[in-house]
Structure 1
Amino acid sequence: MSEYEIDDDPKRVDLDAVWAFMSTEAYWGHWRTREQVAAQIDSAWRVVGAYHRETGAQVGFARAVSDGVGYAYLADVYVLQSARGTGLGKALVRTMIDEGPGAKFRWALHTKDAHDLYRLFGFAEPTMTYLERPGTGSQLR
């Protein structure tokens, strides 16, 4: 992972890079417009990016929504195919949930295919105390 770095500076996020991934590869994000993705990044409680040290190109991303006190939702975590297998996914999640202002928060997320990654950080299936109302748009089901 030494050829990459993790940074939580929101000014460094490359909207073009995030949009390129979200609009073509993210099964969870195809329904959003570029303007919606930009608004989500701008209003995020925290963003974390992964960048190639030499070129500065953004190769990964994670976003969180939070009340800033005790609860946060982890969203839009990705690593480009070319940078996978380097530990960047773990580094993004670790930086977001364990290394920063949300380290003691209750965290939630949705995933269709990355359960093993998130279990490493203590995520588990909900208990009987958790309820959720799914979105009503067909893109959110």
Structure 2
Amino acid sequence: MTDGYEIRTDLAEMDLDLVHEWLSTDAYWALGRSREKIATAAEHSLNFAAFTTDGRQVAYARVLTDHANFAWLCDVYVDRGHRGQGLARRLVDAVLAAVQPMGLSRVVLATRDAHAVYARAGFTPLAEPGTFMERRT
């Protein structure tokens, strides 16, 4: 633990009700997302959370990966009362450290407003954005 925060990866220690509150009411990419969808996503992801010394969860992130080639970092959220402490960067660093031994060729993410946070961790705009496609349902 440093700076009064500890990063943990055990989903059983995480408060998914709190994560649901954060994401469904305050995260532009997940507004209205159901508690069930958040739980299902967490169960099928690698999860990371920051906790205070008294055990209160104050941040969350998850990563989807095939453990061989690709990972997608998503749902990075820091409680409003704990922003500005470097927690997003610490979560990103923890994710990158966890996936580094997998030898992935690509870790991607999408952000509308935190480019500087991710750039400090080595993320750059897509080299070939025209090669990516999506199908919305």
Please give the TM-score of this superposition, normalised by the length of structure 1.
0.88
1-structure distance, mates of 2:64, 2:48: 12
2-structure distance, mates of 1:129, 1:17: 34
Equivalent position amino acid for 2:79 in 1: L
Please give the TM-score of this superposition, normalised by the length of structure 2.
0.90
Confirm whether residue 25 of structure 1 aligns to residue 40 of structure 2: no
Equivalent position amino acid for 1:134 in 2: E
Equivalent position amino acid for 2:84 in 1: G
Q: Which residue of 2 is the match for residue 81 of structure 1? A: 80
Equivalent position amino acid for 2:113 in 1: D
Confirm whether residue 112 of structure 1 aligns to residue 112 of structure 2: yes
Equivalent position amino acid for 2:7 in 1: I
Q: Which runs of 5+ in 2 are unaligned?
A: none
1-structure distance, mates of 2:90, 2:135: 30
In terms of fraction of residues, the more helix-rich structure is 2
Given that residues 8 and 49 in structure 2 are in contact (C-alpha distance below 8 angstroms), is that contact kept between their aligned partners in structure 1? yes
How many percent identity over aligned positions? Answer: 34
2-structure distance, mates of 1:109, 1:13: 22
Number of equivalent positions: 133
Given that residues 25 and 32 in structure 2 are in contact (C-alpha distance below 8 angstroms), is that contact kept between their aligned partners in structure 1? no
Q: Which residue of 1 is the match for residue 127 of structure 2? A: 127
